[in-house]
Amino acid sequence: MADFDRWTEKLSRGLARGTSRRSSLAWLGALATGAAVIPALPVARAATPAPSGGDKRPPVMSSNPQDPGDATTCEYWRYCAIDGFLCTCCGGTVNTCPPGTEMSPITWIGTCTNPADGRAYVISYNDCCGVSSCGQCLCNRNEGDRPQVRPQANNDYNWCLGTQSSIYNCSVAAIVGVALEDAK
Amino acid sequence: MRTTLSSLALLLVSTTAPAFAKSAPLPEEAIPSVATLPADYPASWLLVHDFHFNALLDGRIAIVDTQNEKLPLKAQVRAAQFANYLLSRGKREIYTAETFYSRLTRGERTDAITIWDTATLEPKGEIVLPGGKRQLSVSYTGLFQFTNREKWALVANFTPAQSITVVDLDGRKVLNEIDLPGCAQIYPTGDRGFASLCADGSLISMTLDDKGAVASSKTFEGFQDIDRQPLFGMPALVGKTAWFVSYYGQLQAVDLSGAVAKPLPAKASVGTAEGGAPEWRPGGWQVIASDAKGLLYVLMSPNGREGSHKDGGTEVWVVDPVANKRLRRIDLGGLAGSITVTREAAPRLVVSRPDAKVDVFDAQSGQLVRHLGANVGANPILLVPAQ
């Protein structure tokens, strides 16, 4: 299983880097997102009438100006195809799972444009597993999301796969590479 | 004890309310007392999946009376951890396909189908699904379906290897597992079989023998252009014809009545309209429904763009797909995520909203009939009419 998982992850990353279609879509999506207010969402946002659940929270910014934005809000650039609770609000960070959970080795990916350097990055939305739903900072964005028949581009799946437990807690958004330049 | 309490009560009465009339006390009430439901649910009832995002391992099916403004929630059925469900009207049973861990979030995983009596909602039996591979994802109707005249069920698996488990519901046993690499969703065909959508854009149709093994398989290339016209996974059924809608509003049909699925050449569109920013597109979770006359109802967003396909919609467009003509637009007065149409004599369009409110409209006139409030569950994402 572990070998298979590694193979799948490698394949996913390879696919992401080599697929100009998805990169283009993500780029278009990022443009649209930048201009529009994110509407309430039927699936994810339904659970939390307030934009991020709970009280309004102070922003969590990275110390690097090349990675701009508040990692507790759905508008943060890396979240262009995320669906779930943001791990930053759950005891983890944008790329680290909360204590007591296990990070899924396989995942879905998106390609998001960083507004600070204009590059399209391949983002891995690993799920954190083994603790019940975090319930904080729910976010669903679907730029480049495609039907379930394309699992690696679909965020409806629970990606707590290949982990000890399939119970879903939250999702990270880790940079795993830069998309091909010609993608833009 | 009772005497003492009575004395105390008398004391209180004598000091605070001396003017009470001398009426007989309220009668004692028999307990324990547990309500039951009619075994056959009326056409105004829905089985609503409360996905319960804030505690996915504790999801529920809400049984909802859409005619009851005051008390719409009739009962709940457990639907744990990304569950799927079916209702058999003939057998008066509800089936839930669920996943459990022996220590709630950890330990040994068990996937099982539980069979519930529609009147008592008591479990009548269960069938354990081997391998801990049931597909866990946001709720689609195409992950758990009947075949073989509701004697069997088909369960979608995702590990991420894809397969289908064939279950004999009446015999309470698992019959077979069918590998289905690259394909997702189950659409039952004929008496014993199913179709599925595949990653190369094709549609595959399989018939099953009496042991649940594949008897025949046929592939229809180019059914779906996933890049340019991706289809929402849940179609609306008009009889045995499944109507799919694309992210851009194109409608296409598959005849599922025969043993082998038959994609139909006729295509239709929900049409276009002014006022979109940038344009009108279908949007939401359960975005298409049908009525008994064969009209389609599509949930539409005025903010259609790449990535808006799950954002919900503010109107429902009613389309005659055979005539390829849009008949009317229904203003929902706000955002909705899922829609369905009941088979009542006067059909109702029922919509659920992002804040968990459920509203009922007259499907013909588009007028609001009643609000049910946010009173049936936390995340009502699937609306399945009981008839």
Given the DSSP bridges, would you call strands B250-255 and B241-245 parallel, antiparallel or unpaired?
antiparallel
Domain ranges of chain B: 39-385
The average pLDDT across B210-232 equals: 97
Q: How far is B293 from chain A (nearest CA, A)?
A: 28
| Residue B174 pLDDT level (bands cut at 50, 70, 90) | very high
Verify whether the Cβ–Cβ distance A147 to B183 is below 8 Å.
no
**How many C-beta neighbours within 10 Å does residue A15 have?**
15
Q: Does A41 touch chain B (CB under 8 A)?
A: yes
Q: Does A36 touch chain B (CB under 8 A)?
A: yes
Shortest CB distance from B227 goes to which of A21, A80, A166?
Answer: A21
**How many C-beta neighbours within 10 Å does residue B262 have?**
18
> What is the arrangement of strands in the sheet containing B73-78, beginning at the earlier edge strand?
B73-78, B60-65, B45-50, B380-385
For residues A83 and B147, what is the distance between their CA atoms, to the nearest angstrom? Answer: 32
Q: What is the pLDDT of residue B15?
A: 54
For residues B224 and B202, what is the distance between their CA atoms, to the nearest angstrom? Answer: 6
Pull the structure tokens for residue B119. 């009147």
Mean pLDDT computed over every residue of chain B: 95
Which of B310 and B3 is assigned the larger pLDDT? B310
Verify whether the Cβ–Cβ distance B230 to A40 is below 8 Å.
no
Residue to test with chain A: of B306, B308, B314, most A Cβ within 10 A = B306
Chain A neighbors of B352, CB-CB under 8 A: 42
Q: Does A35 touch chain B (CB under 8 A)?
A: no
| Residue B19 pLDDT level (bands cut at 50, 70, 90) | confident
Q: Nearest residue on chain B to A154, judged by CA atoms?
A: B137
Q: Does the pTM exceed 0.90?
A: no
- First-to-last alpha carbon distance for chain A, in angstroms, is 35
Q: Above 90 in pLDDT, residue B379?
A: yes
pLDDT in tens, B30-65: 999 999 999 999 999 999 999 999 999 999 999 999
Task: Spell A68-84 as b/e; 16+ CB within 10 A means b.
Answer: ebbbbbbebbbbbbbbb
SS3 A170: strand
Q: What is the pLDDT of residue A33?
A: 31
| Residue A54 pLDDT level (bands cut at 50, 70, 90) | low
Dihedral (CA of A143, B138, B165, A4) sign: positive
Verify whether the Cβ–Cβ distance A46 to B232 is below 8 Å.
no
Q: What is the pLDDT of residue A180?
A: 78
Q: Above 60 in pLDDT, residue B219?
A: yes
Task: Spell A94-118 as b/e; 16+ CB within 10 A means b.
Answer: bbbbbeebbbbbbbbbbbbbbeeee
pLDDT in tens, B249-291: 999 999 999 999 999 997 899 999 999 999 999 999 999 999 9
Task: Please report where in the chains the tokens 């262009």 appear, as a residue.
Answer: A80
Q: B35: phi > 0 → left, psi -120 to 50 → alpha, else beta; which?
A: beta
Active site residues of A: 108, 127
Q: What is the pLDDT of residue A181?
A: 63
Q: Above 70 in pLDDT, residue A57?
A: yes
pLDDT in tens, B178-189: 999 999 999 999
For residues B201 and B225, what is the distance between their CA atoms, to the nearest angstrom? Answer: 6
The average pLDDT across B19-28 equals: 90
Chain B neighbors of A142, CB-CB under 8 A: 307-311
Q: How far is A60 from chain B (nearest CA, A)?
A: 23
Verify whether the Cβ–Cβ distance B381 to A132 is below 8 Å.
no
| Residue A52 pLDDT level (bands cut at 50, 70, 90) | very low
Q: Does B200 touch chain A (CB under 8 A)?
A: no
Q: What is the pLDDT of residue B16?
A: 57
SS3 B50: strand
| Residue B21 pLDDT level (bands cut at 50, 70, 90) | confident
Task: State how far the alpha carbon of A17 is from the alpha carbons of A11, A13, A26, A123, in Å.
Answer: 10, 6, 12, 10
pLDDT in tens, A108-141: 899 999 999 999 999 999 999 999 999 999 999 9
Task: Spell B75-112 as b/e; 16+ CB within 10 A means b.
Answer: bbbbbbbbbbbbbbeebebbbbbbbebeeebeeebebe
Structural domain boundaries, residue A99: 2-183
Pull the structure tokens for residue A61. 């910014």
**What is the DSSP secondary structure assignment for residue B212, as one 8-state letter?**
S
What is the share, in percent, of chain B residues with pLDDT greater than 70?
95
For residues A113 and B386, what is the distance between their CA atoms, to the nearest angstrom? Answer: 45
| Residue A18 pLDDT level (bands cut at 50, 70, 90) | very low
The average pLDDT across B155-184 equals: 98
Is the peptide bond prior to B278 cis by the omega test (within 30 degrees of 0)?
yes
pLDDT in tens, B314-331: 999 999 999 999 999 999
Q: Give the CATH number for residue A177.
A: 2.60.30.10
The average pLDDT across B185-214 equals: 98
SS3 A174: strand
For residues A107 and A12, what is the distance between their CA atoms, to the nearest angstrom? Answer: 8
Q: What is the pLDDT of residue A17?
A: 35
What is the share, in percent, of chain B residues with pLDDT greater than 90?
94
Q: How far is A144 from chain B (nearest CA, A)?
A: 6
Q: What is the pLDDT of residue B267?
A: 84
Q: CA nearest B285: which of B301, B306, B303, B302?
A: B301
Contact A147, A110 (CB under 8 A): no
For residues B15 and A36, what is the distance between their CA atoms, to the nearest angstrom? Answer: 66
For residues B223 and B203, what is the distance between their CA atoms, to the nearest angstrom? Answer: 6
Q: How far is A175 from chain B (nearest CA, A)?
A: 20
pLDDT in tens, B116-130: 999 999 999 999 999
Q: What is the pLDDT of residue A45?
A: 35
Chain B neighbors of A8, CB-CB under 8 A: 160
Q: How far is A4 from chain B (nearest CA, A)?
A: 10
For residues A15 and A32, what is the distance between their CA atoms, to the nearest angstrom? Answer: 24
> If contacts are CB pairs under 8 Å, which of residues 122-161 in chain A contact chain B?
130-133, 135, 138, 140-151, 156-158, 160-161
Q: Above 80 in pLDDT, residue A4?
A: no
Task: Please report where in the chains the tokens 């109802």 appear, as a residue.
Answer: B297
C-alpha B38: how far from chain center: 20
Which of B42 and A4 is assigned the larger pLDDT? B42
Verify whether the Cβ–Cβ distance B379 to A148 is below 8 Å.
no
Q: Nearest residue on chain B to A5, judged by CA atoms?
A: B160
pLDDT in tens, A63-104: 999 999 999 999 999 999 999 999 999 999 999 999 999 999
**How many C-beta neighbours within 10 Å does residue A128 have?**
30
> If contacts are CB pairs under 8 Å, which of residues 203-262 in chain B contact chain A?
224, 226-227, 230-233
Q: Above 70 in pLDDT, residue A36?
A: no
Mean pLDDT computed over every residue of chain A: 77
Q: What is the pLDDT of residue A6?
A: 37
Domains held by chain A: number? 1
Domain B39-385: CATH superfamily is YVTN repeat-like/Quinoprotein amine dehydrogenase (2.130.10.10)
Which of A183 and B106 is assigned the larger pLDDT? B106
